[in-house]
């Protein structure tokens, strides 16, 4: 069975400092992994997607994530936080046995950015 664990429910950084949001996954198969962002009272937006083409995935707004099979991790990073990055971030794994029709969300990490 697929599962995803976001290791921090809240992360607080200062503007201009690096961001690290941690995600571990469990999958019996080669997974597709995603990061989505949800700004307050908004829908979710896809940040980036891993599908085995390259282990380092670049997304929108300067975010990137590295797939590490040995550690079963897919952590999200950004070199320098901006106030507009404050939002909820979700790590997501797709169940390949369902042909991609079922995705499993992590519990989310709330990112706070201090001025």
Partner 1 sequence: DTAVSQTPKYLVTQMGNDKSIKCEQNLGHDTMYWYKQDSKKFLKIMFSYNNKELIINETVPNRFSPKSPDKAHLNLHINSLELGDSAVYFCASSPPDRGRDEQYFGPGTRLTVT
Q: Which residues bind partner 1 (CB under 8 A)?
A: 32, 34, 36, 38, 41-46, 49, 51, 88, 90, 92, 94, 98-105, 107-108, 110
Which residue lies nearer to partner 1 by CB, 34 or 63? Answer: 34
Which residue lies nearer to partner 1 by CB, 62 or 96? Answer: 96
Dump strand ranges (E) for 40-98: 44-50, 56-58, 64-68, 73-78, 87-94
- In the 8-state DSSP scheme, what is residue 100? T
Which residue lies nearer to partner 1 by CB, 70 or 101? Answer: 101
What burial class does residue 93 get, using C-beta atoms within 10 Å of its C-beta: 0-12 exposed, 13-18 middle, 19+ buried? buried
Least distance from partner 1 to the Cβ atom of residue 38, Å = 8
């Amino acid at each position: 069975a697929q599962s995803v664990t976001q290791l921090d429910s809240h992360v607080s950084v200062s503007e201009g400092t690096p961001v690290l949001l941690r995600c571990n996954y469990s999958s019996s198969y080669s997974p597709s992994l995603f990061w989505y962002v949800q700004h307050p009272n908004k829908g979710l937006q896809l940040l980036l997607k891993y599908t085995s083409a390259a282990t380092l995935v670049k997304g929108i707004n300067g975010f990137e994530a590295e797939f590490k099979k040995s550690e079963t991790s897919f952590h999200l990073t950004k070199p320098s936080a901006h106030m507009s990055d404050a939002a909820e971030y979700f790590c997501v794994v797709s169940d390949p046995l369902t042909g991609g029709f079922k995705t499993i969300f992590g519990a989310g990490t709330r990112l706070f950015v201090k001025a």
